[in-house]
């Protein structure tokens, strides 16, 4: 092998190593971004769970989400009633 060929192969190998390093740097950044997004999602889900622990539902929330509520007659023998909720979505 002559010197020019050896230099060309070495330059190509060096370029490949640089590209691989750049790829891994980008991959590391993407992993960090993904981790941060997942952490934010976990925080939001925890906040949503806390907000959904309602003892009573505010009227404004019901008006915004429910189209109508139908309550059936009470069964004399069981005391139960059928309730049907039609949502706005």
Three-class SS state of 80 = coil
Q: What is the mean pLDDT of the chain?
A: 90
pLDDT tens digits for range 15-52: 999 999 999 999 999 999 999 998 889 888 988 888 88
Could you give the C-alpha distances from 52 to 8, 12, 36, 59, in angstroms and in order? 65, 59, 24, 15
List all residues 6 or more positions away from 21 whose beta carbon is below 8 Å from its beta carbon: none
pTM above 0.85, yes or no: no
**Torsion angle of the four alpha carbons 15, 16, 18, 21, in this order, in degrees rounded to the nearest 10:** 180
């Amino acid at each position: 092998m002559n010197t020019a060929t050896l230099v060309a192969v070495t330059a190509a190998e060096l370029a490949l190593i640089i590209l691989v390093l750049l790829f891994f740097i980008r991959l590391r950044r993407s992993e960090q971004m993904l981790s941060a997004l997942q952490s934010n999602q976990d925080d939001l889900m925890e906040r949503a769970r806390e907000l959904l622990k309602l003892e009573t539902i505010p009227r404004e929330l019901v008006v915004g989400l429910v189209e109508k509520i139908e309550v059936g007659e009470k069964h004399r023998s069981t005391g139960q009633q059928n309730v049907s909720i039609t949502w706005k979505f």
